[in-house]
Amino acid sequence: MPRVCEICQGAKAILRRPKTGQSICKECFFRVFETEVHNTIVDNKLFRRGDRVGIGASGGKDSTVLAYVMKTLNERYDYGLDLFLLSVDEGISGYRDDSLETVKRNKEQYELPLLIVSYEQLYGWSMDAIVETVGRKNNCTFCGVFRRQALDRGALMLDLDHIVTGHNADDVAETILMNIFRGDIPRLGRCTEIATSGDGYITRSKPFKYAYEKEIVMYAYFRKLDYFSTECTYSPNAYRGYAREFLKDLEAVRPSAILDIIHSGEAMQVASEVKLPSQTSCERCGYISSNRVCKACVLLEGLERGVPQLGIGKSVKKTQDLLAGRTATRSGRAVDVVHFDKLRKHAQEMRHERCTGCTCDTSAPGT
Amino acid sequence: MSITVDVEFSGGLELIMKDKVRQATVSLPATADGKPTTVRQVILYVRDNLVADKPQLFSTENTVRPGVLVMINDSDWEVEGENDYQVQDKDKVLFISTMHGG
Ligand SMILES: [Zn+2]
Ligand SMILES: [Zn+2]
C-alpha cells in the first residue's frame, strides 16, 4: 500500500523530509526544496539586481545542485543576476581532472560561462607538486589557504560582486561542532553567518545553509543531475571526518539535530572582550591578512626555499614577522603571484567597459 | 524459492565494492525462518559478499551506516519501512553515500 503525499494528498510519496518528517511526492519535493532556498535568499537579502554572481563549482553534488537551483530561481523569480561558474583546479591528477570534466559538462547543460583558475597558474605549484615536496602530512593546510585566495582572484578576474558556495546545513553544523570542540571562538562566530563581506572583498554566501545534505542528494538524484563523487586522493581531514560521523549518528536518532546545532551556533554571541584579529593587507600580494605577510605568501616562500614547514603550526606568527619587509626569494619554478591591486584595477576596467556611455573615471583609485 | 534483487551503488560507495562495481544482481531466498526476506538481508548480503574494503563505510550495527541513503524502486526507503521492507522479486535497491565530496 503506497503512502500518499502529505502535501498534495494525491501522488505517491517518494521521500521523507528530515526537517519535518513529512512524506512527500516528487513534484512537491522539488517545489518545497526550491522555495525554501528562494526564501533563504530573499529573507537574508543575499543579492541585488544586476549582481554578477559566481557559483563556486567543484563538480560535486552540492555545487552542481546549487548551480541548477540558482539558474532556476534566477529565471523563475527574475532576480536579474548574471551567473558564472567559478572553479579551482588544485592540480590533483585523477581527482580534480575528473571533477572538472563534470563542471565543463555543467557549463554546457546550464549554459553558464565558466572560469577555471589553477594553483599552477596562480602560484606556480600544483597540489601534486606540493605533495611531492611536503609529503602527505600538511598538504591540506596549503590547499585550504590557496583555495580561499584562488576563489577571490577568480572573482576579481570575472569582476564578480558575490560568490555563492554549496555549503549545506550538515557542513555548517559540522563546522560549528569543530569550532566548539577546538574552542575557536572567532571562527565559531563567523561560520554561522550566511554571508560574509570579506572585508571589502567579494561577498560570499551559502544559500544552502538550511538545506539538508540528504535532500540535496535526493534532489540531484530525482532531477538526474550530473555530479562527481570521489574523496580527494590526498589525506582526508580526519578531524572533520569524526565530526561528520558524530553528526550523522545524532541525525539518525533525531533528524532535527542538524538545524538545532545551527540555531545554537547562531544564538551564541562572541563576547566583546574576545579579541578578533585586526585585518591589514599583505605587503607582498595585497591580500587581506592579519599579519604583514599573508599565509599564502609565507607558504609559497617556504616551498620555494625548500623549507615547506615555514608556514605550518605555531611558528606562523614568528615567520610572518621574519618575512615582513623582505622581498620574496624566487626559484626557477615559481611564478610571480599577481598583486591584488592589479586584479582590482582590472576588475574596475571591466566594469567600465560594460557601462557604455557612463562617466566613471577608471583612473580614480578604489571606487 | 528464491528472488533476485538488483543492487546499485553510487555517491562513491561503488569505490569500496569488489571490482568497484556499480551494479550487481543478488539472489536471495524468498523467506528466511518462515518470514519474508527484508531489505536488511539485502544489506547484510552486500556487506558480507560485495564490499571489498572499509565495510564500516557501508554498514554498521547490521544496517547501513548513517549517511548512506537507500532508494527502493526509486523511493526513499524511509517511506517504504526502512529495514523491514519486504523485498519482492526484481526490486531495485540503490545505495547512495552522502559522505563523499562536496
Ligand atoms: Zn505532493
Ligand atoms: Zn600575500
Number of domains observed in the structure of chain A: 2
CATH number of the domain that residue B68 is part of:
3.10.20.30
Q: Does B71 touch chain A (CB under 8 A)?
A: yes
- The verdict on A250 and A329 lying in the same domain is no
Residue A108 and residue A141 in one domain: yes
Best B65, B69, B78 member to test A by mutation, with max A CBs in 10 Å, is B78
Q: For chain A, which residues lie within 8 Å of any Cβ of chain B, measuring from their own Cβ?
A: 3, 12-16, 23, 58, 60-63, 99, 166-167, 170-171, 213-214, 217-218, 221, 228-231, 244-245, 248-249, 251-252
The set of residues, in sequence order, having a beta carbon less than 8 Å from that of A59 and lying 6+ positions away, is A87, A98, A99, A100, A101, A102, A103, A106, A227, A228
The answer to whether A199 is a known ligand-binding residue is: no
Does B83 touch chain A if contact means CB atoms closer than 8 Å? no
Please tell me whether residues A231 and A268 are part of one structural domain: yes
What is the pLDDT confidence band of residue A320, given thresholds at 50, 70 and 90?
low
Average pLDDT, chain A: 87
Tens digit of pLDDT for each residue in A323-363?
665 555 544 445 678 999 999 998 888 888 887 666 665 55
Report the C-alpha gap between B30 and B52 in whole angstroms.
Answer: 26
How much is the pLDDT for A11?
Answer: 96
In this structure, the answer to whether residues A62 and A155 fall within a common structural domain is: yes
Q: Are residues A262 and A284 both part of a single domain? A: no
What whole-number distance in Å separates Cα of residue A40 and Cα of residue A19? 15
CB distance from B78 to chain A under 8 Å? yes
Q: What is the CATH number of the domain that holds A205?
A: 3.40.50.620
Whether B72 is covered by a domain: the verdict is: yes
Query: Which of chain A's residues have a Cβ under 8 Å away from the Cβ of B99?
Result: 244, 248
Shared-domain flag, residues A56 and A197: yes
Q: Kindly state the average pLDDT of the residues A13-25.
A: 95
Per the model's pLDDT, the better-predicted residue between B3 and A200 turns out to be: B3
Going edge to edge, which strands form the sheet with A52-56?
A: A114-118, A82-89, A52-56, A162-164, A203-205, A195-196
Residue A296 is assigned to a structural domain of this protein: yes
Chain B hits for A60, Cβ within 8 Å = 101-102
Query: Confidence class of residue A136 from pLDDT cuts 50, 70 and 90?
Result: confident
The answer on A206 and A333 residing in a single domain is no
Residue A216 above 90 pLDDT? yes
- Under an 8 A CB cutoff, do B69 and A166 touch? no
Q: What is the ipTM for the molecules in this complex? A: 0.94
pLDDT score of A367 more than 50:
no
Mean pLDDT of A234-241: 74
Q: Is residue B102 part of a domain?
A: no
**Same domain, residue pair A264 and A187:** yes
Domain membership of residue B56 as a residue range: 2-97
Q: Domain range holding A197?
A: 41-273
Q: Which of A148, A165, A170 is nearest to A55 (CA)?
A: A165
Inter-chain touch A23–B98, beta carbons under 8 Å: no
Residues A233 and A311 placed together within one structural domain of the fold:
no
Domain end point (choices A211, A240, A273)? A273
- Three-state SS sequence of B4-50: EEEEEEECCHHHHEHHHCCEEEEEEECEECCEECEHHHHHHHHHHHC
As given in the structure block, the three cell numbers for residue A215 are 535532500
Strand ranges, E, within A2-81: 15-16, 23-24, 52-56
- Please report the pLDDT score of residue A333 as a whole number: 46
How far is residue B98's CA from residue B92's CA, in Å, rounded to a whole number? 19
How many independent structural domains does chain B possess? 1
CA A245, A247, A253, A256 dihedral sign is negative
What rounded mean pLDDT belongs to chain B? Answer: 92
Please name the amino acid found at residue A25.
Answer: C
Q: How many Cβ contacts (< 8 angstroms) between chains A and B?
A: 68
Give the residue from A121, A125, A46 showing the smallest Cα distance to A331. Answer: A125
Mean pLDDT to the nearest integer, A246-266: 93
In chain A, whose CA is at the least distance from the CA of B82? A16
Give the SS3 label for residue A275.
Answer: coil
Q: State the average pLDDT over residues A27-36.
A: 98
Res A226: pLDDT: 87
- Establish if A186 belongs to a structural domain: yes
Task: State the Cα–Cα distance between residues B38 and B86, nearest whole angstrom.
Answer: 4
Same domain, A131 and A247: yes
